[in-house]
């Protein structure tokens, strides 16, 4: 799945190129884009295509309109932001298929950009409808997938279109395949993975796959409570997946069998309520008050986790160490962020919360690769085949 052609492996000069991007960006109630990383991440691909005199047709979804036209999910604000970033006029089509769109695509000249209206205004997009795929394909000569974030979905613009057009990776997709795919498939040891977030259930597949590959596995966040319960500790009122305690025991055993250094918290920051102004204190994991809840890894654990990264050659991080949005419970995540950024290892970070923590600390530029896909990154880390990547032409 990793040896795929990119736009640099084919002739795009003077061609009409349909490019699937993931411009599902956050907006405020007034429709202003609050964060545009996903748009900026595609600029190298668009600029390369423009340098080769291609005509570009952009397709994206925005929000969850569920197959109907919802005006607040129009891509117009996205097109305006992209136009400002790339310094070119962008025409927004009234729809993504149909006679009007076909006429606009037909008249598109080299160097021009047309953005289709929200693909998910049509339920056929998510159903991977062959007729809808064919209509999208009829607009262009070549399909390019630069939307890693949706490549775990077999949708019409992602997978279906490749049955009717030659399809290759964009430069952003190529980076994701190289870093997330190849680095995890063939990591340079010592390989350390840091997995956080609220629930073990969201990341079982990732943990099980990584136990076959890593030298050290670090667990933090709410999911660490389930591992603490598996070790017999009282976790008080902490978030706990009681039905996953046996699974956590099994994962602890698997780590032992495989000689993986599994690092779990030895101390935690507990609070008397889930609030920014809660009373809080750091305690050893065997001293969690039954009326309190753990909301971050403790200072000793944070130091241990940071130290374990010192000799690493490959680091993967997905998920925060605590409720980092509240300053009182941000130390664990911040300590890990500083350690990952300061490491000389190849570092790959995925998951919105981990990325937000890095950006908040001003450390994002020190990471080798920040993955643009949430669910897609996790499935890639699990070793799953992603339909949007599998469908691209092989080298």
- At residue 97, the pLDDT reads 97
Same domain, 158 and 197: no
Q: How far is CA 194 from CA 4, 35, 122, 156, 278, in A?
A: 28, 25, 39, 34, 27
Query: Which pTM does this prediction carry?
Result: 0.86
Q: b/e string for 273-302 if b means 16 or more Cβ within 10 A?
A: eeeeebebebbebeebeeebbbbbbbeebb
Q: Can the peptide bond before residue 218 be classed as cis, meaning omega within 30 degrees of 0?
A: no
Same domain, 132 and 227: no
Report the C-alpha gap between 274 and 169 in whole angstroms: 44
Q: Write the CATH number for 55.
A: 3.40.50.1260
Same domain, 82 and 155: yes
Q: How far is CA 69 from CA 32, 123, 155, 228, in A?
A: 19, 10, 18, 47
Whether residue 388 is predicted with pLDDT greater than 80 in this model: the reply is yes
User: Which are the catalytic amino acids?
Assistant: 38, 199, 352, 375
In a domain, 225, yes or no: yes
Same domain, 232 and 312: yes
Same domain, 213 and 241: yes
- At residue 47, the pLDDT reads 98
Whether residue 352 is predicted with pLDDT greater than 80 in this model: the reply is no
In a domain, 241, yes or no: yes
- Structural domain boundaries, residue 215: 187-381
- At residue 245, the pLDDT reads 96
Instruction: Determine how many CB atoms are found less than 10 A away from the CB of residue 198.
Output: 17
In a domain, 391, yes or no: no
Same domain, 159 and 198: no
- Domain C-terminal end among 174, 197, 229: 174
Same domain, 26 and 127: yes
pLDDT in tens, 51-101: 999 999 999 999 999 999 999 999 999 999 999 999 999 999 999 999 999
Phi and psi at residue 137, to the nearest 5°:
-65, -30
In a domain, 1, yes or no: no
Same domain, 195 and 169: no
In a domain, 369, yes or no: yes
Same domain, 26 and 151: yes
Same domain, 222 and 360: yes
Whether residue 363 is predicted with pLDDT greater than 60 in this model: the reply is yes
In a domain, 181, yes or no: no
> Torsion angle, CA of 308/309/312/316, rounded to 10 degrees?
120
Same domain, 228 and 376: yes
- At residue 355, the pLDDT reads 85
CA 56 to centroid of chain Cα atoms: 25
The structure tokens listed for 45 are 């691909």
Across 114-128, 211-225, 250-264, 373-387, least confident range: 373-387
CA 124 to centroid of chain Cα atoms: 24
Give mean pLDDT, residues 336-357: 90
- Domain C-terminal end among 123, 139, 174: 174
What's the total number of domains in the chain?
2
- At residue 87, the pLDDT reads 96
In a domain, 290, yes or no: yes
């Amino acid at each position: 799945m990793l040896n795929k052609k990119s736009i640099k492996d084919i002739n795009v000069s003077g061609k009409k190129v349909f490019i699937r991007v993931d411009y599902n960006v956050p907006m405020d109630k007034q429709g202003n884009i609050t964060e545009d990383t996903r748009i900026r991440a595609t600029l190298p691909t668009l600029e390369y295509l423009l340098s080769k005199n291609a005509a570009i047709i952009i397709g994206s979804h925005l929000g969850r309109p569920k197959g109907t036209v919802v005006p607040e999910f129009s891509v117009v604000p996205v097109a305006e932001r992209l136009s400002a970033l790339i310094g070119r006029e962008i025409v927004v089509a009234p729809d993504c298929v149909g006679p009007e769109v076909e006429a606009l695509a037909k008249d598109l000249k080299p160097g021009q950009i047309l953005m289709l209206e929200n693909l998910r205004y049509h339920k056929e997009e998510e159903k991977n409808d062959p007729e809808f795929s064919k209509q999208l394909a009829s607009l262009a000569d070549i399909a390019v997938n630069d939307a890693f974030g949706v490549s775990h979905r077999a949708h019409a613009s992602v997978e279906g279109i490749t049955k009717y057009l030659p399809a290759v990776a964009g430069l952003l997709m190529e980076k994701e395949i190289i870093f997330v795919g190849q680095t995890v498939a063939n990591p340079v040891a010592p390989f350390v993975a840091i997995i956080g977030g609220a629930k073990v259930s969201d990341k079982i597949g990732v943990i099980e796959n990584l136990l076959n590959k890593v030298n050290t596995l670090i667990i933090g966040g709410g999911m660490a409570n389930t591992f603490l319960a598996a070790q017999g500790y009282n976790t008080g009122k902490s978030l706990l997946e009681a039905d996953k305690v046996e699974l956590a025991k099994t994962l602890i055993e698997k780590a032992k069998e495989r000689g993986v250094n599994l690092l779990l918290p030895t101390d935690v920051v507990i609070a008397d309520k889930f609030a920014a102004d809660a009373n809080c204190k750091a305690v050893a994991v065997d001293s969690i008050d039954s009326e309190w809840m753990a909301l971050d890894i403790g200072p000793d654990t944070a130091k241990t986790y940071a130290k374990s990264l010192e000799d690493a050659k490959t680091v993967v991080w997905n998920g925060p160490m605590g409720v980092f949005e509240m300053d009182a419970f941000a130390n664990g995540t911040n300590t890990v962020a500083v350690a990952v950024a300061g490491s000389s290892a190849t570092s790959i970070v995925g998951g919105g919360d981990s990325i937000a923590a890095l950006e908040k600390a001003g450390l994002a530029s020190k990471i080798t690769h920040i993955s643009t896909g949430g669910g897609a990154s996790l499935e890639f880390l699990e070793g799953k085949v992603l339909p949007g990547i599998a469908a691209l032409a092989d080298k």
